[in-house]
A and B are shown apart, each in its own frame.
Chain A
Amino acid sequence: MAKKLSKVPVVIVGMGWAGGIIASELTKAGIKVVGLERGKERDMSDYSMVHDELRFQHREELMQDLSKETITHRNNLKMRALPMRSYGTFIVGEGLGGAGSHWNGQTYRFLPYDFEIRSLTEKRYGKNKIKSDYPIQDWGITYDDMEPYYDTFEKMAGISGETVELYGKRSNPYPTGPMIKTPVLAEFEQAAKKLGYKPYMIPSANLSENYKNPDGISRSACQYCAYCENFGCEYGAKADPVVTVIPVAKETGNLDLRTYSNVTRIVNDGRKATGVIYVDTFTGEEFEQPAEVVVLASYVFNNVRLLLNSKLGTPYDPKTKNGVIGKNYCYQVSSGYSSLYYNDREFNIYGGAGALGIEIPDFAGDNFDHSDVNFLHGAGIRTTQYGNRPIANNNSPIGTPSWGAEFKKQSIKYANSILQVKSQGASMPHTQNYLDLDPTYKDVYGMPLMRMTYDYTAQDRELVKYMAKVTRSIAKKMGPDHIDTVAEQGDFNVNTDTNTHNTGGVIMGTDPNDSAVNTYLQMWDAENVFVAGSSAFPHNSSFNPTGTLGAFSYRAAEGIVKYLKKGGSLV
């Protein structure tokens, strides 16, 4: 039997960006919060040995321990789903800060088009443009409504960037200026400008300058050390919950943070939650933490899984298309890209930062005419300079063997002489792509794993082909000696695809029949449960999701404060 603890106003499951922001806002407002985190506690000093590619990137030090829990995957309903036994694709964070510790720091806003995607698409192209098996929905809130929350998130994190004309209007400039435009990025810039595009520096959570945020947190500027993605920042230059919102929450004295605490169920009667059950991951002891409000703020997959395992909300059924939990799971498409090989030039690409990059807005959202193409939305076309770490980066022209004398010769020759023009494309929901519980596989606590049924859609494949051509045209203008372009989107492969921008499964909207939460991320079916994170996105844009996740976390926090005062539905 679980040991029952005394009741608290709010319990938060997962202490990454969503949980950290909500904890910070609530505790500042004087509300007592219990924060449950399954992984270890961390602070900045823990990152001093972080320049270790093997330990952090290839042995996934900051990621979830898959021996305890993973996902299962199948490409379609006819296949048997099998567990992802080791990391190949999604790297799912664990420990204080969650994915917010190991991210790259690319921090965009979604477009006005994203929030009203169905209305605006139908308005411009007619009712038939969106095919019936793509459940594309308006989000129930507009960009203008979201703008102040984006602004708050960007000020907290100190986002560095420059205003982009083709994107939504900003009430304020970015709190810090753009990162350094290196010669590598200037190559892309010149080529893109020659083609009439409007390149801009990628907005970055790696500070371009020293910065003090409105909470009084001071952080220093990025040193371009090249260890962002998969790594924590030893300078605190990268915005991370561990160096921003969590210390603020702790400072109030209102946060009771419990690490090594893995939540397995939400206690509920189908209409309301009374708390959560969690396990001490060391001793196996079970606890029940009663609370007035339960906030799910773990990763996309676990948010969905906790609801399903707790029998809260109606599971989505791909046959009848009824139900909402697990619906509209989306990913991102990044298979269209060009690699540029230079025979006589070397670049300082051993250095860089996770959000050091340049991009064009011209092919994002509905910024170009979709009348004659078989896809919606678009992609960011970009060149980044993350810092090419040597185990992960052994590029050579297509056709080079993957080992042996020729491999060695070519991969070393081009170690500092390869650039890429990449695309990151939006992902539209499909009725047959969804999340549910696996009928066979379980985690170490005996709870069913989450099953992902997902493959790329016709829309994705068309988008990739189109964007690959754009990357090639820019690449040509950059004048390398050799270009390889990849233009085909293969089947989704859980072992090789490399993007952790998963979204959906507990999506927001205005109607309980096609969404699970309202725009405060409050569940329709249980008014004292809030489900924060990118699980709330009805589709995925072409941008990295954290900026939008952060903005909605501020909105959810505002909703929770209101709910604690008045109760009932917030809309």
Chain B
Amino acid sequence: MSDNEKSQIEKRGSTRRTFLKNSGLAVGGLILGGAVGSIFDGNSDSDVKTEQKNQTQGNNPNEALMFFYPEEYQTTAAAAERIFPKDETGPGALELNAAIYIDHQLNSGWGVNEKDYKLGPYYKPEPTQGEQVKLYRKDLFRLGLKELNAYSNKNYQKKFTDLDATGQDEVLAAFEKGEASSLSGVSSSAFFQLLRTLTIEGVYADPLYGGNKEMLGWQMRKYPGSRMGYTKEIQSKDFVKLDPNSLQSHMKH
């Protein structure tokens, strides 16, 4: 990694802290769950400095919302963190910006099922026939977030982000089993699967999509990202750990 790239990444880290602080996106449930960790640990001096820099340079413009409203983002970030929580192996979905990734994906052609077969009629499928969901992914996701809060309020008298980690896990498990109310006729388990899939993608897709911040998702599992080849490494009996590269490195070729 060049020094220039390194300093870019450092700046990005600070920017994120500022972003969360300024926009009031501190997620209650995550603090209670102990999962949010270092994001809020930055000392205030450096935050002030970053803020000044920020206003002039606008670092990492990718960390902004093109689809979610702030509360939806907050709920998504909290739910994704339960799918892929921070632990001793490393950061969770929140720190890795999985929710930023999800925001961007839902606003893409994929969010409106552009490559899916959408002509009717729609019938209830047998278990072997795949989903027959008429809703766009972006709409299903939005309905699912709303229901996360509705379900939490009904069963715990709190909104989802105000639940502790155990409570959030219980709610998500109910969604996984399809026990929450249907989302315009679609099972809550379909929403859960979408959330799970998007979270894993947001943790491990190339950083160009907004998640896998600083390639820390890859780092955690010793994945080297995209490199030109591994002819030497695959012949080694010992494990060869390489620093990850992102696709950006291929722009030079």
Contact = CB atoms under 8 A, between A and B. Distances in A.
A182 B129 contact: no
Interface stretch (B3-11, B151-159, B178-186, B219-227): B219-227
Interface stretch (A223-231, A283-291, A478-486): A223-231
B239 A80 contact: no
Interface in B115-166: 115-119, 121, 123, 125-133
Interface string B67-105: 000000000000000111101011010000000000000
Nearest to A68: B117
B239 A53 contact: no
Interface string A402-414: 1111011101110
Contact of B115 (A66, A222, A227, A491): A66
B113 A390 contact: no
B117 A67 contact: yes
A221 to B, nearest CB: 8
A7 B237 CA distance: 61
Given A54-B201, A225-B230, A416-B221, A348 B240 contact: yes
Interface stretch (A70-78, A266-274, A294-302, A326-334): A70-78
Interface stretch (B12-20, B56-64, B204-212): B204-212
A346 interface: yes
B115 A180 contact: no
A391 interface: yes
B251 to A, nearest CB: 8
A495 interface: yes
B1 interface: no
A125 B133 CA distance: 49
A79 interface: yes
Contacts, number: 176
Interface stretch (A81-89, A243-251, A252-260): A81-89
A66 B229 contact: no
A65 B118 CA distance: 11
Contacts of A563: none
A390 B229 CA distance: 17
B234 A348 contact: yes
Given A82-B132, A405-B85, A491-B128, A415 B115 contact: no
Interface string B21-53: 000000000000000000000000000000000
B32 to A, nearest CB: 16
A216 interface: no
A408 B223 contact: no
B48 to A, nearest CB: 34
A404 B82 contact: yes
Contacts of A387: 230
17 contacts: A52-B206, A59-B110, A82-B132, A86-B130, A180-B234, A184-B234, A223-B230, A223-B231, A348-B234, A348-B240, A350-B230, A412-B89, A415-B221, A415-B223, A442-B119, A494-B128, A495-B131
Contacts of A49: 247, 250
B233 A351 contact: yes
B125 A86 contact: no
Given A391-B201, A408-B85, A408-B87, 16 more contacts: A51-B225, A60-B115, A67-B113, A69-B117, A70-B117, A75-B126, A82-B132, A222-B231, A223-B228, A223-B230, A223-B231, A225-B229, A225-B230, A352-B230, A415-B221, A494-B129
Contacts of B218: 390
A226 B230 contact: yes
A88 B247 contact: no
A534 interface: no
Contacts of B85: 404-405, 408
A493 interface: yes
Interface in B186-213: 196, 199-201, 204-206, 208-209
Contacts of A82: 123, 125, 129-130, 132
Contacts of B233: 348, 350-351
B2 interface: no
Contacts of B118: 67, 85
A166 B7 CA distance: 59
Interface in A394-425: 394, 402-405, 407-409, 411-413, 415-416
Contacts of A368: none
Residue among B89, B113, B228, B229 with the most chain A CB within 10 A?
B229
A48 interface: yes
Residue among A51, A65, A73, A347 with the most chain B CB within 10 A?
A51
Interface residues of A, number: 67
A84 B125 CA distance: 11
Residue among B204, B222, B234, B240 with the most chain A CB within 10 A?
B234
B128 A88 contact: no
A51 B250 contact: yes
A385 B234 contact: yes
A137 to B, nearest CB: 28
A115 interface: no
B55 interface: no
A321 interface: no
B252 to A, nearest CB: 11
A391 B225 CA distance: 11
Contacts of B220: 412
A224 B116 contact: no
Given A348-B236, A412-B221, A85 B231 contact: no
Nearest to B128: A493
Interface in A89-129: none
B234 A224 contact: yes
A441 interface: yes
B116 A67 contact: yes
Contact of A391 (B113, B205, B239): B205
B87 to A, nearest CB: 6
A346 B110 CA distance: 36
Contacts of A407: 84
A375 B128 CA distance: 24
A86 B194 CA distance: 13
Nearest to A388: B223
A196 interface: no
A182 B206 contact: no
Nearest to A353: B234
A399 B117 CA distance: 34
B169 interface: yes
Q: Can you list the 5 inter-chain pairs with the closest CB atoms, starting with the nearest?
A: A223-B229, A351-B230, A51-B226, A495-B130, A346-B239
Contact of B117 (A66, A79, A226, A409): A66
A491 B236 CA distance: 41
A224 B87 CA distance: 33
Given A88-B130, A440-B121, A348 B200 contact: no
A492 interface: yes
A58 interface: yes
